[in-house]
């Protein structure tokens, strides 16, 4: 079989959780080795406890594996078409692009085996692209023929009606018929991340078990007999998602339906916990937090400010109701991330128990090590995905790519941003922008987009532009946040993480002028970041701007404002959030 374009040559760093070094790592992070919560729920006979997983190597299916293991099952990987035909239950978490996936399935005979398995009504669960591939064809880089089991064509969301594409976040389901695995969803949100979708029609109505509204009513799940497929990600949908997987894996178990207090109606605004991570002076990886990006204590020792341990804090935020967790390796711009094994281990451990999306950023760029070995940014990203990241975030390298693109007017296709979004899809690529506000007396003084500021500058300046920086705010670049945001959207970014160095750690609220400017300028989701000091700051940013999510660090680490109280406040203000 020909290797698919995404099967990169990156060495896989193996890691066994029972090895002494792993146990040491766990202990250093304040964790004891404990079997997963549902360890004792193992099915009785060996065959019963195995889930066959169809992973053709296009991206991160680690979270699906982790969720299956968490529920007490072992995972067997499909190696040959016979493995599909012999499966007791098959999970197909499709990732990557439709055409590339069909190509792999057709070339190795798996397409035929899949059709035969599904036509025999054997237990099947398709996830995301694993749902789309069941349809007749897709418009993604096509038309491309699919497996043809369900009538319909998969098409792209229309962003001209003001809805941001990709559709990223927690949305509500409208259950259309008894679907067994959705019995516990009730009126909770589930997590979607996709740019393409299939539409319900008379021809496929017997299949459709739920729809979701995002501009249109699209198909959120299908069911016929033992065959299920979902457009959303149960493995990333917290407890609700785990119960969907549990119902698929234990179809005969008497599970009691959980009552839900509140009805999910639409796409929720996301609340994200961010962990800025770096090594302290003793060499341990710690969560830190700066004031305007200065993370050192102003003491004689000038030590790195420590606010916790990454795995432990990420787990806590998951339990507290964070809709996503982001790790930013803040010294990644100077240290090579693949040499930073603890950071990769942090991701692996976190993804074992945290079932909401994980983003990781820092140091995603091409790199040559001391021995002259070259690593591409794609290899760095691939390793992050393999270790459990759902999205990667690019900072400095995206600034250079945007500058080059604006200078030449040509998309080279070689930047980290373009390469990673081509292989993993733009929904997997976040661009982190780190601007500083520069006040101006006269808006004509610079060649970048300027705004009239709400609060005048120290010398009464009424205008400002936002200058982008690289290397953790150390170097200002000749490009504005507005120009950068528009350029990276064209180059393939799926989301923008919008920081503001002036507001970082200040607890005075988000920079509303900046977030409004950028969220009005692009049609991809924007995450507001920097400056949250109270729950009211979250409602303010959602009311006054088009941000899709808001992120905070310091107030969560110092336990000043719990995530739950932010959510309760948003609910009271009539803003949709996931509970
Ligand atoms: O340039 O690709 O290596 O990426 C480096 C990444 O590290 C970028 O995303 C950059 O934002 C981040 N970074 C670099 N240095 C720092 C620093 O603080 N010295 N952290 C840094 C940026 C921003 C947010 C922060 C919010 C919320 N941190 O992550 O958590 O501002 O904080 P708050 O709620 O406490 O105000 P590359």
Could you tell me the CA-to-CA distances from 245 to 44, 209, 236, 396, 572 in Å, in that order?
18, 16, 11, 39, 32
How big is the chain by its Cα radius of gyration, in Å? 23
- Distance, in Å, from the CA atom of 324 to the CA atom of 157, rounded to the nearest integer, reads 23
- Pairing relationship of beta strands 189-194 and 167-172 according to DSSP bridges: antiparallel
Q: For 452-481, what is the mean pLDDT?
A: 97
Amino acid 262: pLDDT? 66
Least confident of 71-75, 154-158, 254-258, 433-437: 254-258
- Asked, as a colleague might, if the bond just before 531 is cis with ω within 30 of 0, I would say no
Taking the centre of ligand 1 as the mean of its atom positions, its distance from the CA of residue 456, in whole angstroms, is 26
What are the phi and psi torsion angles at 169 (to 5°)?
135, -170
- pLDDT tier at 18, thresholds 50, 70, 90: very low
Least confident of 23-32, 91-100, 389-398, 520-529: 23-32
Q: How many residues does the chain have?
A: 579
434 in active site: yes
Q: Render pLDDT for 46-60 as a digit per residue (tens, 0 to 9).
A: 457 899 999 876 666
Mean pLDDT (the chain) is: 88
The verdict on whether residue 499 carries a ligand-binding annotation is yes
235 in active site: yes
The torsion of the CA quartet 365, 366, 369, 371, rounded to 10 degrees, works out to: 170
**What is the DSSP track for 521-559?**
H-SS-EEE-S---SHHHHHHHHHHS--SEEEESHHHHTT
Q: Which residues are CB-contacts of 314 (< 8 A; sequence separation ≥ 6)?
A: 273, 275, 325, 327, 346, 350, 354, 358
Catalytic residue among 55, 184, 276, 483: 276
CB 13 within 8 A of CB 344: yes
Amino acid 56: pLDDT? 76
Amino acid 251: pLDDT? 80
Amino acid 9: pLDDT? 31
Domains along the chain?
35-249 (3.40.50.880), 270-434+470-572 (3.20.20.70)
Q: How many CB atoms lie within 10 A of CB 571?
A: 14
504 in active site: no
pLDDT at 372 over 90: no
Amino acid 159: pLDDT? 85
Amino acid 284: pLDDT? 85
Q: Which residues are CB-contacts of 448 (< 8 A; sequence separation ≥ 6)?
A: 465, 467, 479, 480, 482, 483
- Asked, as a colleague might, if the bond just before 166 is cis with ω within 30 of 0, I would say yes
| Residue ranges lining ligand 1, Cβ < 6 Å | 274, 276, 289-290, 293, 295, 328, 330, 332-333, 361-364, 393-397, 432, 434, 472-473, 499, 504-505, 529-532, 552-554
Helical (H) or strand (E) element with 565: helix 563-572
- Distance, in Å, from the CA atom of 487 to the CA atom of 268, rounded to the nearest integer, reads 27
Range from 282-296, 320-334, 448-462 that averages highest in pLDDT = 448-462
Q: Render pLDDT for 19-46 as a digit per residue (tens, 0 to 9).
A: 444 444 444 444 443 333 333 334 444 4
The verdict on whether residue 128 carries a ligand-binding annotation is yes
- pLDDT tier at 359, thresholds 50, 70, 90: very high
276 in active site: yes
Amino acid 55: pLDDT? 87
Amino acid 100: pLDDT? 85
Least confident of 160-164, 450-454, 474-478: 160-164
Task: Tell me what percent of the residues of the chain surpass a pLDDT of 70.
Answer: 88
pLDDT at 431 over 90: yes
- pLDDT tier at 367, thresholds 50, 70, 90: confident
* 174 compared with 187, residue with greater pLDDT: 174
Amino acid 290: pLDDT? 87
* 100 compared with 526, residue with greater pLDDT: 526
pLDDT at 478 over 70: yes
Taking the centre of ligand 1 as the mean of its atom positions, its distance from the CA of residue 188, in whole angstroms, is 32
pLDDT at 574 over 90: yes
Amino acid 340: pLDDT? 60
Tell which one of 293, 330, 393 to mutate to probe ligand 1, the residue whose CB is within 8 A of the most ligand atoms: 330
């Amino acid at each position: 079989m020909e290797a698919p374009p995404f099967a990169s040559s990156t060495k896989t760093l193996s890691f066994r959780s029972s090895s002494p070094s792993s146990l040491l790592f766990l202990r250093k992070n304040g964790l004891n080795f404990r079997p997963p919560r549902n360890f004792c729920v193992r099915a009785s006979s060996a065959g019963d406890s195995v889930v066959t997983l169809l992973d053709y190597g296009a991206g991160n299916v680690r979270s699906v594996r982790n969720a299956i293991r968490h529920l007490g099952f072992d995972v067997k990987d499909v190696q040959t078409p016979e493995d599909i035909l012999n499966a007791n239950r098959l999970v197909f978490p499709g990732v990557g692009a439709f055409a590339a996936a069909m190509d792999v399935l057709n070339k190795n005979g798996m397409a035929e085996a899949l059709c035969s398995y599904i036509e025999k009504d054997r237990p099947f669960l398709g996830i995301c692209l694993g749902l789309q591939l069941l349809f007749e064809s897709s418009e993604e880089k096509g038309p491309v023929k699919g497996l043809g089991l369900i009538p319909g064509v998969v098409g792209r969301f229309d962003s001209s009606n003001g809805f941001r594409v990709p559709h990223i976040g927690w949305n509500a389901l409208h259950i259309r018929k008894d679907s067994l695995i959705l019995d516990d969803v009730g009126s909770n949100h589930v997590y979607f991340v996709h740019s393409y979708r299939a539409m319900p029609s008379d021809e496929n109505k017997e299949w459709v078990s739920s729809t979701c509204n995002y501009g249109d009513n699209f198909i959120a799940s299908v069911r016929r007999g033992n065959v299920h497929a979902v457009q959303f990600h149960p493995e990333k949908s917290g407890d609700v998602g785990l119960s969907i997987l549990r119902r698929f894996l234990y179809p005969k178990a008497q599970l009691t339906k959980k009552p839900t207090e509140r009805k999910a109606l639409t796409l929720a605004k996301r609340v994200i916990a961010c962990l800025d991570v770096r090594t302290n002076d003793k060499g341990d990886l710690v969560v830190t937090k700066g004031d305007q990006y200065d993370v050192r204590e102003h003491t004689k020792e000038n030590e790195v400010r420590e606010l916790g341990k990454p795995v432990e804090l990420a787990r806590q935020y998951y339990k507290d109701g964070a809709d996503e967790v982001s790790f930013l390796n803040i010294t990644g711009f100077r240290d090579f991330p693949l040499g930073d094994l603890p950071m990769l281990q942090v991701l692996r451990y976190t993804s074992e128990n945290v079932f909401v999306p994980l983003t990781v950023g820092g140091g995603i760029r091409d790199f040559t090590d001391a021995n002259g070995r070259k690593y591409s940014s794609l290899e760095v990203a691939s390793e992050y995905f393999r270790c459990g990241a759902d999205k990667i975030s690019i900072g400095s390298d995206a600034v250079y790519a945007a500058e080059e693109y604006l200078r030449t007017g040509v998309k080279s296709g070689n930047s980290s941003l373009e390469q990673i979004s081509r292989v993993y899809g733009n929904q997997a690529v976040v661009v982190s922008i780190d601007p500083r506000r520069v006040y101006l007396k006269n808006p004509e003084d610079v060649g970048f987009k300027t705004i009239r500021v709400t609060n005048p500058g120290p010398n009464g300046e009424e205008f400002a532009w936002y200058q982008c920086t690289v290397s953790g705010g150390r170097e200002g670049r000749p490009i504005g946040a507005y120009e950068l945001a528009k350029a990276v959207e064209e180059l393939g970014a799926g989301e923008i993480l919008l920081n503001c160095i002036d507001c970082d750690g200040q607890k005075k609220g988000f920079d509303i002028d900046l977030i409004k400017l950028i969220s009005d300028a692009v049609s991809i989701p924007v995450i507001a970041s920097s400056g949250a000091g109270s729950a009211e700051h979250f409602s303010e940013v959602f009311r006054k701007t088009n941000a899709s999510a808001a992120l905070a660090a310091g107030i969560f680490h110092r336990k000043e404002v719990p995530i739950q109280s932010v959510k309760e406040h948003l609910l009271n203000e009539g803003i949709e959030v996931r509970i």
